[in-house]
Amino acid sequence: MPINPADGPILGTLYGSDAMRAVFDEQTYFQRMLDVEAALARVQARLGIIPADAADAIVAAAKFENLDVAELAASARNVGYPVIEMVTGLSRAAGAAGAWTHWGATTQDIMDTATVLQSRDGLALVRAELLAIVGALAAQAERHRHTVMAGRTHLQHALPTTFGLKCVLWLQPLIAHVQRIDQLRPRLEQVSFGGAAGTLASLGDQGIAVMEALAAELGLSAPLAPWHVCRDGLAETVGLLGLICGSLTKIATDTILLAQTEVGEMTEPYVDGRGSSSTMPQKRNPIASEYIHAAARTVQAMVPVMQGAMAQDHERATGPWQAEMLALPQSFVLTHGALLHARSIAEGMTVDPARMRRNLDATGGQIVAEAVMMGLAPHLGRLEAHHLVKHACDTALAERITLAEALAREPAVSGRLDRAAIERLTDPAAYLGSSQAFIDRVLAAARAIF
């Protein structure tokens, strides 16, 4: 049983996904390293550095099943890195051609490039989930663009808004994250190939040619110079995962607050037994939102680990590099798990417009006090209008009457506005400002990323 619950067969269903775990599985990692070795052999054969038949044998042998796991473990424990025994096993499986394996490369070339290949696959999964959530929230925003609800600041009623606008505010940063992934990829998806100390001296004047050909073979780009000790691309990747999780916690936080019994305006999708309590049969806890928060806290804790690992000494680091292997896969797995939870909310949320309306009316119209003030300001001046409406709000609270009733008692109001005009001023649906235009703008941006 794995120690990390995100990797377990039971608790892993809450914290991650099988798809992302498959990308960063240890066996997959070794296969990716073998893929790099095979690609290196192919390009070196084309460049006339190693015999073509040797390259064919190396490529055919570059399969994980040709390695001995026990020997890999023993060597890694002794050496500190897994590549020496991996190359030994690959060379053994390739027969006489194995003498040409790993030509001109160093351990970090193989491991770093394998990590980049895994990260590329991981980002593809993250991007796909982001697009799914964007699509689901866009549909909810369109569906509820006219569903009026209380906007809240400092957890108090502030002004009317719509649930559609709330959905596009959840959606807006996710659009930016898709764009950030696309912008990040050229900085991340670079081959790592520098040889023993970043000079490729063992390949003579063919070092750069091999580096560029290897990059093309793997669908990567070639850096201007080897990046053994330049870790910004991987650190930026985990930083982006932290940002994505941060945006998901906004959705989760609002969901938790809206699902409170006293509010009851929106809940997570209900499946029989989900979020239930072992002792309280009535409970429907916001479990997806809770796991989004748990994942986000952990991923965001990995960001300083990755940034701290940028302190690489000289031409090969003495420890920071190894810390990346602990932080990066975990960050991808937990981010994908959080995205899956967020997708379930976005696609299946239960929205209660009637409860939204009841809550909106709970203060007897005081949520539109600003609207009344602005309506009176042209007649009384803004400052006087503010004082008058504040007095009316105090009266309404003290006597438990509506704001419209309190305003009708004010001579400065009743002398200028009849009761119908006061009712219009205190209608929440009439004070939504540019909400519809904002929804349209965000939805247009969402369509542009597909």
**343 flagged as catalytic:** no
CA distance 216 to 366: 64
Helix (H) or strand (E) holding 350: strand 350-351
Phi and psi (nearest 5°) for 85?
A: -70, -35
Asked if 16 and 7 touch (Cβ cutoff 8 Å), the reply is yes
248 exposed, middle or buried (CB, 10 Å; 0-12, 13-18, 19+)? buried
Whether residue 382 lies in the annotated active site:
no
Q: 156 by DSSP, 3-state: which?
A: strand
Catalytic residue among 202, 274, 277, 447: 277
Alpha carbon distance 411, 418 (integer Å) = 11
**Among 390, 392, 384, which Cα is nearest to 410's?**
392
- Torsion angle, alpha carbons of 302, 130, 169, 330, to 10: -10
- Find the helix packing angle between 26-46 and 83-94, rounded to 10°: 60
Q: What are the CA-CA distances from residue 30 to residues 64, 66, 288, 369 (Å)?
A: 7, 11, 33, 65
Point out which residues pair with 119 in neighbouring strands: none
Containing H/E element for 378?
A: helix 369-380
C-alpha angle 213/219/221, rounded to 5°?
65
Query: Would you give the end-to-end CA distance of the chain in angstroms?
Result: 40
Q: Residue 202 contacts by C-beta under 8 Å, 6 or more apart in sequence?
A: 104, 195, 196
Instruction: Write down the catalytic residue from 284, 316, 355, 416.
Output: 316
Q: Is 230 left (phi over 0), alpha (psi -120 to 50) or beta?
A: beta
How far is 115 from 218, CA to CA, in rounded Å?
A: 13
Backbone angles phi, psi at 151, to 5 degrees: -85, 140
Residues marked as catalytic: 277, 316
